[in-house]
Amino acid sequence: MPRPQVTVVGAGNVGASVAQRVAEASLADVVLIDIVDGLPQGKALDLAEAAPVVGHDMRVTGTNDFADTAGSDIVVVTSGLARQPGMSRDDLLSKNAGIVRSVVKQAAANSPDAIFIIVTNPLDAMCHVALEASGFSPEKVIGMAGVLDSARFRTFIAQELGVSVSSTHAFVLGGHGDTMVPLPRYSTAGGVPITELMEAGRIEELVTRTRNGGAEIVALLKTGSAYYAPAASVTQMVDSILNDRNMILPCAAYLQGQYGVDGLFVGVPVKLGRAGITQVVEIELADDERAAFDRSTDSVRELVDAMSRMAAG
């Protein structure tokens, strides 16, 4: 049986790190594609030459031609501009929409059975572009944001309590960005809700730090944005899909009535398996959580509307 194949569009920081993690975890052969001549070829060759030392047999190749990505099982879209200091995700909207539309069209034509994992920001809006450009069914177009957001929250919870990150679990809903909704009562250490382990004020500080997690790293790096944790998050989604693990992970999913939302990508817990999203997991929200969730979906809707206006204008 041929090995699974993952195409990674964009050989920049996030894309190259995804390629490395996917290959080195022996999850799939990887095709790295970028618009810049030589960049994906060079990084792919470098990654391939690490294989004998790391000890895996995955093929890693680089290309500028979508024909070389044909038959992929998963296409990870990281192409676009990264946020610079002081630049909001929204500033990236129109530029990245054009890039994502173009690469998704070409990737979908070459890999009609693939599942898309979208990473490019602004995330929720780019998922809409990808759904439309691919013509794929909604369970095959998934946005990566919640896994990263919850990983950040877990990191801060573990640091605060002095416990292993592996003992933590964090629940994050809503759009990717300043309006994301971390849910402390479903966030736990050793199975105990953190609301029983920390003062409310301290939890609020960790929630705020999580919301600003991307900006905190942008401010430190000064050029470019986070990529190690984003790439690890994508790789967990790839693993759950390719190995049909059905992990419940927070992802941007196209809602069709769930959570009272229709026709919008929003971050919710989903079951991820070989067919893509096999279930959206719904939970009851308390009034304050519902209000925060509604604010978050409103801001996603504003972005999508802004994009439609740009496309029309």
Strand-pair category, 5-9 with 74-77: parallel
Residue number, 8 or 157, with CB nearest to ligand NAD: 8
- List the x/- string, 80-109, binding to ligand NAD by CB under 6 A: xxxx------------x--x--xx------
Instruction: Give 36 or 192: the residue with its C-beta nearer to ligand NAD.
Output: 36
Q: Give the x/- contact pattern for ligand NAD in 125-154, rule: CB under 6 A.
A: -------------------xx--x------
User: Which span sits near ligand NAD by CB under 6 A: 220-228, 241-249, 273-281, 304-312?
Assistant: 220-228
Give me the residues paired with residue 173 across strands.
Answer: 181
**What is the residue-wise DSSP string for 75-140?**
EEE--SPPPPTT--GGGGHHHHHHHHHHHHHHHHHH-TT-EEEE-SSSHHHHHHHHHHHH---GGG
Q: Cβ 142 to ligand NAD, closest distance in Å?
A: 11
Token pair of 120 as six digits: 């490019």
* Cβ atoms of 262 and 167 closer than 8 Å: no
8 Å CB contact between 61 and 32: yes
Q: Which of residues 222-251 bind ligand NAD (CB under 6 A)?
A: 224-227, 230
Q: Between 20 and 198, whose beta carbon lies closer to ligand NAD? A: 20
Q: Which of residues 159-188 bind ligand NAD (CB under 6 A)?
A: 176
Interface with ligand NAD includes 78 (CB under 6 A)? yes
Member of 14, 76, 203, 261 binding ligand NAD (CB under 6 A): 14
Report angle CA 303, 305, 310 to the nearest 5 degrees. 95
Strands across the sheet containing 188-189: 168-169, 188-189, 192-193
Smallest distance, Å, CB 95 to ligand NAD? 9
* Alpha-carbon 33 to chain mean position: 18
C-beta closer to ligand NAD: residue 35 or 48: 35
User: Is 176 a catalytic site residue?
Assistant: yes
Quick one: which of 21, 233, 23 has its CA closest to 119?
233
The span from the CA of 163 to the CA of 40, in Å, is 39
Is 79 an interacting residue with respect to ligand NAD (CB under 6 A)?
yes
Binding site for ligand NAD (CB under 6 A): 9-15, 34-36, 39, 78-83, 96, 99, 102-103, 119-121, 123, 144-145, 148, 176, 224-227, 230
Catalytic residue IDs: 176
